[in-house]
């Protein structure tokens, strides 16, 4: 076994990435505090060719050195926009035909292993604040919630870990890999 060199990975250029077909996922970040988490979600969104990121409320926006440290250039490839409130962003996505999925633990959450995203629908995935999760007024606008099963003593994943798990699961189930 030998490690693959970067030059052997056939990576897309930023220009080619922008022209490439995207998965019909929009990732919505609801008041994320950590710029490292924001950068990590940019990087993961690049890896899974997410349509765009919507950064809401207190979520910092590029360019910023702390975001760049973990994004490693993904702020240049992944489309993003800013919304003053997550509620506004979600309402706009719904008006544009997106199914809005809260990634949250609720009394009606669907276990991730049981959730199969519809093949022909546009999907917006809402990830919440590191401490408080998704705001209740935003949850009220979501079509449903999906929960990542966990088996330890903690009851939550880091936002960037959650994004990686959810996006991997979605593209795998949709046969996009």
Under the banding of pLDDT at 50, 70 and 90, the label for residue 134 is: very high
Give me the residue spans of the domains in the chain: 14-173
pLDDT category at 155 given cuts 50, 70, 90 is confident
User: For the segment 97-113, what is each residue's pLDDT rounded down to a tens digit?
Assistant: 999 999 999 999 999 99
Question: Across all residues in the chain, what is the average pLDDT?
Answer: 95
- Say what the pLDDT of residue 6 is: 84
Cis peptide bond prior to 63, omega within 30° of 0 = yes
Please report, for residues 139, 146, 165, the alpha-carbon distance to residue 108 in angstroms, rounded to integers and kept in the order given: 11, 9, 20
Is 70 exceeded by the pLDDT of residue 177? Answer: no
Window from 8-12, 33-37, 92-96, 131-135 with minimum mean pLDDT: 8-12
3-class DSSP assignment, residue 94: helix
pLDDT of residue 109: 98
How far apart CA 75 and CA 54 sit, in angstroms, is: 12
Neighbours of 80 (CB within 10 A): 19
CATH value of 14-173 in 3.30.70.2700, 3.40.1280.10, 2.40.10.10, 1.10.3720.10:
3.40.1280.10
Separation CA 86–CA 80 (nearest Å) = 14
Smallest CA-to-CA distance from 142 within 170, 175, 104 is with 104
Return the higher-pLDDT residue of 161 and 7. Answer: 161
């Amino acid at each position: 076994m030998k490690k693959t060199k970067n030059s052997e990975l056939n990576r897309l250029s930023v220009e080619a990435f922008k022209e490439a077909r995207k998965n019909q996922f929009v990732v919505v970040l609801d008041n994320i505090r950590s710029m490292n988490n924001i950068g990590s979600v940019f990087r993961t969104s690049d890896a899974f060719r997410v349509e765009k990121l919507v950064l809401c409320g207190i979520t910092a926006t590029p360019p910023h050195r702390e975001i760049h440290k973990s994004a490693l250039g993904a702020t240049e490839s992944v489309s993003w926009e800013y919304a003053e409130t997550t509620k506004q962003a979600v309402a706009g996505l719904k008006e544009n035909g997106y199914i809005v999925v809260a990634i949250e633990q609720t009394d009606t959450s669907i276990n991730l292993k049981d959730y199969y995203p519809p093949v022909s629908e546009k999907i917006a995935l809402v990830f919440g604040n590191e401490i408080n999760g998704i705001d209740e007024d935003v949850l009220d606008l979501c079509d449903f919630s999906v929960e990542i099963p966990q088996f330890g003593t903690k009851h939550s994943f880091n936002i960037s870990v959650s994004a990686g798990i959810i996006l991997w699961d979605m593209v795998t189930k949709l046969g996009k890999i």
